Chains A and B, each alone.
Chain A
Amino acid sequence: MIAPLSLAIWTPILFSIILIGLGGLLPKKLGPNLALLGGFVSFIITIPVLIEFNYISPLFQFQEFHHWILPYRINYHLGVDGFSVPLILLTSFMTMIVIFLTQDTNIKNLNYYHGAFLMMSGLMIGVFSSLDVILYYIFWEAMLIPMFLIIGVWGGPNRIYATIKFFLYTVLGSLLMLVAFIYLFFEAGSFSLIDYYHLPLSLPIQIFLFVAFFMAFAVKIPMWPVHTWLPDAHVEAPTGGSVILAAIMLKLGGYSFLRFALPITPDAVSFLQPALIVISLIAIVYIAIIAMAQKDMKKLIAYSSISHMGFVTLGIFLLTPMSVEGAYVQMISHGFISAALFISIGILYDQTHTREIQNYGGVINKMPLFSALVVFFAMANSGLPGTSGFVGEFMVIMAAAQENFWIALTAAMTLLLGAAYSLWMVKRVFYGEAKSKVVLKLKEINFKQTFVLVSLALLILILGLFPFLITDITNTTAENFIQFMNRSKFPIL
């Protein structure tokens, strides 16, 4: 196939343009079906990227190179390695799921809604496959607009505050990243990422650059203490928005650390490593304790996401092959688990219009199948072996034990805390007698919702039992990455 990456990026965007352009004109049935077709085709089109991908090559594959803005040597340069491929598939898959789930709901202006998701999907795949930093930056910033609209137009009552907060937080970080790119352009003479990998830089410069990158990516993941936009954004976002936000958008931060910040400034990372590890540990423990105090289910899962992302950053900054791959598995796994939990909460919210834990109790009496699935997802969220939630945490904790016993022990507290907030919520919402009015009115999930939740459960199980399906893809890239990180980039005097 020619240019699989370009196809993966532009197919959903094309569908999105059709949907948004003709949004008001399309017949009632056609619009949602077209959107589903778009989601489906966009997913199918990413599969060759996985199949044709050469697992053992450390090079960027499926490269596409076209000159774009010549005077500034900005190129349309795409390529993927083991860190990109699983995330690209996750993106197109989750977008398809979201469209499938919302296809026959009565969300107003549904065509525009679907259009925004398809647009975002294409742009995010663009982020995962750009090798030119300006191209990357454009995708990175453009992606904010559909998400901004999804929360701002289709969101909850306090959506304006949440969107502004989300937008300003992210833009603040991104601008510093742009400054870093411009500095690097003057040093290297191009905007090519691969040139930056081999650019010698002194330690102070590296630290400045790293801090600039850090501001952009740490907000995105998010890391403590720049995480406070996430709970607000999640609570106000519609279910689909939450799913994409948690499943993919957070991973852009982790991916970008691996792709940009670390290889460009390896010495700064080893210099700042202790501080970065401490921040990650704070995220894991502090946020988990906060999650326990939440009264709103969606906020609880939002905080749980931040805590799980703490494992991603911890794994990345421990800088061993096992920890980095653990962080990576954790990203993919969290994509499925958090998506499943947000979809589940959305299902309850659609029927009851409340997310307060205290309004529930005994849901299992009304929705036994749904409750069984949620108990499974909650178990996965608390890292039960056999589910994908365990794999990443296990690998990161094992890697941490090699660095320092106390780091590992602090990280391992999540075994207790994660189970405590997840299962305590399950206890209060799902178990017990069905007493409250909202619960008595609940109906069991329909076939479509069952299908989606069961597929996600199976994926979580498969990745938990056969995690080599992911790590085989990332092995070569991760080892290559660690070797690269161990080389100093100081200029030779």
Chain B
Amino acid sequence: MQLIHVFSIAPFATLFASIIVGLFGKKCPKVFSYALTTLGVGIAFLISIYTLYITSHGFHGEFTLYQWLATGSYNFEIGFMIDNLTALMMVIVTFVSLMVHIYSIGYMKQDSGFSRFFSYISLFTFAMLMLVMSNNFLQLFFGWEGVGLVSYLLIGFWYKKPTAIHANLKAFLVNRVGDIGLLMGVGLILFWFGSLDYQTVFDRSVSLGNQSIFLFGDSAVSLLSVICILLFIGAMGKSAQIPLHVWLPDSMEGPTPISALIHAATMVTAGIFMVSRLSPLFELSDTALSFITIIGASTAILMGIMGVVQNDIKRVIAYSTLSQLGFMTVALGVSAYSVAIFHLMTHAFFKALLFLAAGSVIIGMHHDQDIRHMGNIKKYMPITWITFLLGSLALIGTPFFSGFYSKEMIIEATKYSQIFGSGFAYWMLIFGVFFTALYSTRLYLMVFHGTEKWRTLKLRNTHHGLNSQQSPHESPWVITLPLILLTIPSVIIGYLSIDTILFSDFFTTSIFINDEIHKNFSQINNHFSSPIKTGLHGFLTLPFFFMMLGIIVAWFVNSQMFKSNITPKFVSFISKILEKGYGFDTLNEKYFARWLRVAGNFLWLRIDLNLIDRYLVNGPAYLINRLAFKLKSLQSGYIYHYAFIMIIGLFLLMTFFIKL
């Protein structure tokens, strides 16, 4: 068996399982659905481990699966590029996917769409693997839209819920806005580079570094800046950066396991992955990098603040995801691609853990997601409690936890960066750390500590939630096992792998950094000695103080709240802005979507039906009809009318000739 066949097993095992379960799962017992799909993703996980093993020992290769299409002078192929970046992504994707598969056996147990769910998440794994394994832009786009499709299907999984089917349409359309950018970037690449293969494009990129194009009349703009910004617009859609982030909070309407898999750990990081994969292009455009830095920093801070005012357990974590994606984006902008991937990895573990633990809490609370109804759950759900606590510690960046290393490195890289916007980004990230600690601590305290608030609720939801006599129970082992398995890397993976991933030559074949201009990463490299020293030093840094400040503020506000029994209130003006999510939704729905519908009605009724149809098409018909009606009276059938006309005619003719 050739190597390409080994690699292809990973995606196609999941695709195969997905198709079989999708077709026959409904008629078979549940064990068939989950066993087959879990087996499929398990195989994919083992292959990914093997791939990472051989690539970390120096293997690097490109393979072509088949030729998709050839036209003119262009060839489009489907193929794989296997290197450390691909292999690491494969491992992350399949590991989290495997955990989510196991978890869902318990979480979705009662659901009538059980087999459909497993078919979807396996299909998702397939699309995501095709995306990360691609060796060309076309297949990237395939995977890109493929994961978008599954995300659409899974957000709308409970298709009877009006909010769910609103959210999935919104998610798909907002992503499509980004995809337009991506596709335009690909179009320009095909035109200027003559190929869509990554390697060919990278090889030719240096010679096109100073190429200008004329987009706006006579003013020349740098080709690579245009391409990179267009590609990044695609990443903004998928990785939910401002202003294309609006779909992600609403996507929480989907089942919780997919929030963990798709909307935290894997799909939303596709944009981060893409930019890292294309680092040889992005390195050539400082304009694009500045743009990325500023967008990322704004997302990190603005979405972090939003996390503080949410009361739905999943929405808090969703805004946290947005904010963390902002951190990764800043890392891309300051040319620290490997750090972005490093944070992507640690974040995948601890955020998947947080979502799954939140799901466990939600089951315990009988599908009540409001944190104002929770409290003291640590007593009833000890495993969930401990794993959630460890996940939160990793998220806020407690020294020695995985999240600490990745976040610390991003902030360091930003600090030393010379790129325009990095100064702004540095402070936004520092404040971001504060807000991360604030919302995480608030969430943790409200859910796991304090009084058991569901017992004293005045307004009780009749469909969901516990009544005052019931208590939550710890979830079964299929749910707690993935939590434990995810806790391990959430805590230690940063410590174990920082040396290899960031400061060895792990990524030298995959990621290109233009060291002469972007020196910040090599500067951190010089400062770094060992993970232990970094961890110890972490207690003395500015981010650490901001983190502690966040914890203290959260603790203080929370303890005050118990006394006076009020929710934390900011100045009313700010809280109004935050309630509306800075008004992005209002802008989109009240203005943009409505404007489009008004335009549709106008063009249809006024232009199409009225102008074209009524005047230009039916108009002449109507005129001819009227004319014929008038002319009809000439043919009256009376002989004396005809005789009269004849005589007049003869008379006129004669006068005409006589004149001559």
- Residues of A whose CB lies within 8 Å of any CB of B are 165, 168-169, 225, 228-229, 286, 289-294, 320-322, 325-326, 362, 364-365, 375, 379, 384-386, 390-391, 394-395, 397-398, 400-402, 405-406, 408-409, 412-413, 415-416, 419-420, 423-424, 427, 430-433, 465-468, 471, 475, 478-479
Q: Say yes or no: A400 contacts B187, CB within 8 Å.
A: yes
CB-CB under 8 A for A467 and B603, given A401-B190, A420-B173? no
| Separation of A228 and B66 alpha carbons in the complex (Å) | 43
| Separation of A229 and B609 alpha carbons in the complex (Å) | 11
| Separation of A385 and B138 alpha carbons in the complex (Å) | 9
| 8 Å CB contact of A322 from B72, B159, B215, B599 | B72
Nearest residue (CB) in A for B66 is A466
Q: Mark B192-224, 1 if CB is under 8 A from A, else 0.
A: 000000000000000000000101000000000
User: What's the minimum C-beta distance from A438 to chain B, rounded to whole angstroms?
Assistant: 18
Nearest residue (CB) in B for A326 is B71
| Separation of A294 and B603 alpha carbons in the complex (Å) | 11
Q: Say yes or no: B600 contacts A293, CB within 8 Å.
A: yes
| 8 Å CB contact of B71 from A292, A294, A322 | A322
Nearest residue (CB) in B for A400 is B187
CB-CB under 8 A for A165 and B604, given A289-B599, A431-B165, A471-B71? no
Q: Mark B139-174, 1 if CB is under 8 A from A, else 0.
A: 001101110010011001001101001100100110
Q: Say yes or no: A408 contacts B160, CB within 8 Å.
A: no
CB-CB under 8 A for A409 and B180, given A228-B613, A286-B603, A427-B165? yes
Interface of A is mostly: helix
Q: Which residues of the other chain, A, contact B660 by a CB distance below 8 angstroms? A: none
Q: Say yes or no: A405 contacts B215, CB within 8 Å.
A: yes
Nearest residue (CB) in A for B78 is A465
Q: Which residues of the other chain, A, contact B149 by a CB distance below 8 angstroms? A: 379, 384
Task: Flag whether B177 is at the interface (Cβ < 8 A).
Answer: yes
| Separation of A203 and B191 alpha carbons in the complex (Å) | 31
Task: Flag whether B184 is at the interface (Cβ < 8 A).
Answer: yes
| 8 Å CB contact of A416 from B180, B187, B599, B621 | B180
CB-CB under 8 A for A225 and B612, given A293-B604, A432-B159? yes
Quick one: which of A229, A401, A432 has the most chain B CB within 10 A?
A401
Task: Flag whether B541 is at the interface (Cβ < 8 A).
Answer: no
Q: Say yes or no: A402 contacts B191, CB within 8 Å.
A: yes
Task: Flag whether B59 is at the interface (Cβ < 8 A).
Answer: no
Q: Which residues of the other chain, A, contact B492 by a CB distance below 8 angstroms? A: none
User: What's the minimum C-beta distance from A213 to chain B, rounded to whole angstroms?
Assistant: 21
User: What's the minimum C-beta distance from B148 to chain A, rounded to whole angstroms?
Assistant: 9
| 8 Å CB contact of B169 from A165, A391, A423 | A423
| Separation of A386 and B146 alpha carbons in the complex (Å) | 8
User: What's the minimum C-beta distance from B581 to chain A, rounded to whole angstroms?
Assistant: 22
Q: Which residues of the other chain, B, contact A471 by a CB distance below 8 angstroms? A: 69-71
User: What's the minimum C-beta distance from A300 to chain B, rounded to whole angstroms?
Assistant: 11
CB-CB under 8 A for A398 and B142, given A320-B72, A468-B67? no
A-B contact pairs, 24 of them (CB 8 A): A289-B596, A290-B608, A293-B601, A294-B604, A365-B160, A384-B149, A385-B145, A386-B146, A395-B71, A401-B188, A402-B190, A405-B188, A405-B215, A412-B187, A416-B177, A416-B180, A420-B173, A427-B165, A430-B159, A431-B159, A432-B159, A465-B68, A471-B71, A479-B72
Task: Flag whether B176 is at the interface (Cβ < 8 A).
Answer: yes
Q: Say yes or no: B173 contacts A416, CB within 8 Å.
A: yes
CB-CB under 8 A for A408 and B184, given A322-B74, A364-B159? yes
Task: Flag whether B183 is at the interface (Cβ < 8 A).
Answer: yes
15 more CB-based (< 8 A) A-B contacts, given A225-B612, A419-B176: A225-B616, A322-B74, A325-B71, A325-B72, A384-B145, A394-B183, A398-B74, A405-B188, A405-B213, A406-B215, A416-B176, A416-B180, A427-B169, A432-B165, A467-B68
Nearest 9 Cβ contacts at the A-B interface:
A401-B187, A293-B600, A321-B72, A431-B165, A290-B604, A292-B600, A385-B142, A431-B159, A402-B191
| Separation of A286 and B606 alpha carbons in the complex (Å) | 13
Q: Which residues of the other chain, A, contact B66 by a CB distance below 8 angstroms? A: 466
CB-CB under 8 A for A433 and B604, given A384-B149, A385-B142, A409-B184? no
Q: Say yes or no: A412 contacts B180, CB within 8 Å.
A: yes
Task: Flag whether B474 is at the interface (Cβ < 8 A).
Answer: no
Q: Say yes or no: A467 contacts B69, CB within 8 Å.
A: yes
Q: Say yes or no: A423 contacts B172, CB within 8 Å.
A: yes
| 8 Å CB contact of A165 from B67, B172, B600, B617 | B617
Q: Say yes or no: A478 contacts B146, CB within 8 Å.
A: no
Task: Flag whether B286 is at the interface (Cβ < 8 A).
Answer: no
Task: Flag whether B179 is at the interface (Cβ < 8 A).
Answer: yes
User: What's the minimum C-beta distance from A305 to chain B, rounded to whole angstroms?
Assistant: 14
Q: Say yes or no: B160 contacts A292, CB within 8 Å.
A: no
Task: Flag whether B597 is at the interface (Cβ < 8 A).
Answer: yes
